[in-house]
Amino acid sequence: MKTGSGYILCAFLFLLCSCQKELKNESSTGKSYTVHIVLRPVVQGQPLIFNQPYTNAFGEDYTVTAFRFYVSALSLQNNNADVPVAGEAKYRLADAAIGNTLSFTLSANQSIFNSLSFQLGVDSIANVSGAQSGDLDPAKGMFWTWNSGYIMAKLEGASSFSTVPNGSFTYHIGGFSGENKAIRSIVLAVPEGRQIALRNNRTTTVVINADIDKWFHATHALSIADNAFVHSPGSLARLYADNYAAMFSVASITEE
Write the pLDDT tens digit of every residue in 50-93.
999 999 999 999 999 999 999 998 989 998 788 878 766 789 99
Same domain? For 79 and 48 the reply is: yes
Q: What is the pLDDT of residue 186?
A: 96
- Classify 13 as helix, strand or coil: helix
Same domain? For 22 and 111 the reply is: no
Residue 4 has a CB neighbour count (10 Å cut-off) of: 8
pLDDT tens, residue by residue, 180-189: 999 999 999 9
Same domain? For 7 and 87 the reply is: no
Same domain? For 57 and 10 the reply is: no
Q: What is the pLDDT of residue 29?
A: 53
Number of domains in the chain: 2
Same domain? For 55 and 171 the reply is: yes
Same domain? For 177 and 218 the reply is: yes
Which residues, in sequence order, are CB contacts of 132 under 8 Å at separation 6+? 126
* pTM for the full predicted model: 0.85
> In the chain, which residues have pLDDT < 50?
1-3, 5, 7-28
Q: What is the pLDDT of residue 90?
A: 86
Same domain? For 93 and 163 the reply is: yes
Same domain? For 145 and 251 the reply is: yes
Same domain? For 174 and 215 the reply is: yes
Same domain? For 126 and 2 the reply is: no
Same domain? For 61 and 143 the reply is: yes
Q: CA 153 to CA 131: how far, in whole Å?
A: 17
Same domain? For 151 and 241 the reply is: yes
Q: Which residues partner with 155 through β-bridges?
A: 67, 171
Q: What is the pLDDT of residue 235?
A: 97
Q: Which domain holds residue 55?
A: 31-255
